[in-house]
């Protein structure tokens, strides 16, 4: 596993590799949301990225740097869905065989898309088996190259291009809310913000039942937990990546804060995106808006001069249509 810590220069290099390959996704606004929250919010819509999520950025950047020998042998990845699809699509574009380890309870739409892109899917039980052990066994048996979903310098650099594009379009922001699972998107965003919006405070948003990132930053060590029970399947991780933790700790608590969002808050955010912005966003992609709603008042107090400008990374839109309709119809406490 690579251990070098990426820098903003790596993010810029990733952007050059992704040019013409990844979509430069739109940045949208909603006057209704602005009025409700008393601030100006801008949404970087990675739900409209290739393969339906920001993950394409990191996956393509990593695979594009394979040696000829690695390309011939193939890639292996493990993922609940978005990284799986991203690696499978990137591998197809680069003519690399791909094996993807996915949990049995992954959304069917994500499994089908991964297979459709040409990935060979290997299923496992996320509550009883260790996907990292399965992936390593495939590496040793077939000579594949492992590209993990977040703890990899090329993946982190690629993910950082989403925030890079956002800052290039909007200029500096006061705050940026970023979904926080294994930490790849958040770490990459920290690198981009440090160069393009150094006064921006970043909020990494985890599901309420999976706050290992918050606890890790508070305790100064990587805290491991059981697989959290949440509808945010893209953030059902058990620990933050080592490289990501290194980047977030170096940024310091004055720059990075970990917060949480409830499943009920995610559903409300899904409904808002669908109703007022006409966007299909998966639960994990709603973490930023859900947390912004909770913390908007506190943010306004920190910026009493007014004109508060806040970014939200909408990380993905891969959700089964039937499940999407079911969640939008949910009222009250989720069971």
Q: Is 315 a catalytic residue?
A: yes
Q: Is 210 a catalytic residue?
A: yes
The CATH label, of 3.60.15.10, 3.40.50.970, 3.40.50.1100, 3.40.640.10, for the domain at 56-146 is 3.40.50.1100
Is 56-146 the same fold as 8-53+152-328?
yes
pLDDT in tens, 185-235: 999 999 999 999 999 999 999 999 999 999 999 999 999 999 899 999 989
> What does the block give as tokens for 85?
């699809």
Q: Is 55 a catalytic residue?
A: yes
Q: Which residue out of 79, 315, 316, 317 is catalytically annotated? A: 315
Number of Cβ within 10 Å of residue 86's Cβ equals 34
Q: Which residue out of 80, 90, 189, 216 is catalytically annotated? A: 80
H or E stretch at 298: helix 287-302
Quick one: fold of 8-53+152-328? Answer: Rossmann fold (3.40.50)
Q: Which residue out of 10, 212, 233, 282 is catalytically annotated? A: 212
Q: pLDDT higher for 109 or 143?
A: 143
Sign of CA pseudo-dihedral 110, 114, 52, 153: positive
Report the alpha-carbon distance of residue 38 to residue 33 in Å, rounded: 8
Q: Which residue out of 46, 206, 211, 282 is catalytically annotated? A: 206
Q: Which residue out of 55, 81, 182, 311 is catalytically annotated? A: 55
Q: Is 209 a catalytic residue?
A: no
Q: Which residue out of 210, 234, 241, 317 is catalytically annotated? A: 210
Span 254-283, mean pLDDT?
A: 97
Span 137-157, mean pLDDT?
A: 96
What's the pLDDT score for residue 302? 77
Span 137-148, mean pLDDT?
A: 96
Q: Which of 150, 148, 159, 193 is nearest to 15 (CA)?
A: 159
227-259 burial, b for 16+ CB within 10 Å, e for fewer?
Answer: ebebbbbbbbbbbbbebbbbbbeebeeebbebb
Delimit the domains of the chain by residue range. 8-53+152-328, 56-146
Q: Is 80 a catalytic residue?
A: yes
25 with 40: CB under 8 angstroms? no
84 with 77: CB under 8 angstroms? yes
* CA dist list (Å): 215 to 103, 119, 225, 237, 328: 25, 35, 10, 14, 31
Report the alpha-carbon distance of residue 261 to residue 241 in Å, rounded: 21
Report the alpha-carbon distance of residue 199 to residue 210 in Å, rounded: 28
Q: Is 79 a catalytic residue?
A: no
């Amino acid at each position: 596993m690579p251990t070098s810590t990426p820098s903003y220069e790596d993010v810029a290099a990733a952007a050059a590799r992704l040019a013409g390959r990844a979509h430069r996704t739109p940045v949208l606004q909603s006057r209704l949301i602005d009025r409700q929250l008393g601030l100006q919010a801008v949404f970087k819509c990675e739900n409209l990225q290739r393969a339906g999520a920001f993950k394409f950025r990191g996956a393509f950047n990593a695979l594009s740097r394979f040696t000829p020998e690695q390309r011939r042998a193939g890639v292996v990845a493990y993922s609940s869905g978005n990284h799986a699809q991203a690696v499978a699509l990137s591998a197809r574009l680069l003519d690399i065989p791909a094996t993807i380890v996915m949990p049995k309870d992954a959304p069917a739409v994500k499994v089908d898309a991964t297979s459709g892109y040409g990935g060979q899917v290997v299923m496992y039980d996320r509550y009883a088996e260790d996907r990292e052990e399965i992936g390593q066994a495939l590496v040793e048996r077939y000579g594949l190259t492992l590209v993990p979903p977040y703890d990899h310098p090329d993946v982190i650099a690629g993910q950082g291009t989403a925030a890079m594009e956002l800052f290039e379009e909007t200029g500096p922001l006061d705050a940026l809310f970023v979904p926080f699972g294994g930490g790849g998107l958040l770490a990459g965003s920290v690198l981009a913000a440090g160069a393009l919006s150094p006064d921006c405070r970043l909020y990494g948003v985890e599901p309420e039942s999976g706050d290992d990132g918050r606890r890790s930053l508070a305790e100064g060590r990587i805290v491991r937990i059981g697989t959290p029970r949440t509808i945010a399947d893209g953030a059902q991780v058990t620990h933050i990546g080592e490289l990501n933790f290194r980047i977030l700790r170096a940024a310091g608590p004055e720059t990075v804060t970990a917060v949480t969002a409830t499943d009920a808050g995610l559903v409300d955010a899904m409904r808002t995106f669908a109703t007022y912005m006409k966007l299909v966003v998966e639960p994990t992609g709603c973490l930023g808006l859900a947390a912004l709603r909770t913390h908007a008042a506190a943010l306004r107090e920190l910026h009493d001069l007014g004109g508060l400008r806040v970014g939200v990374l909408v990380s993905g839109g891969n959700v089964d249509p039937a499940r999407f309709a079911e969640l939008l119809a949910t009222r009250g406490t989720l069971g």
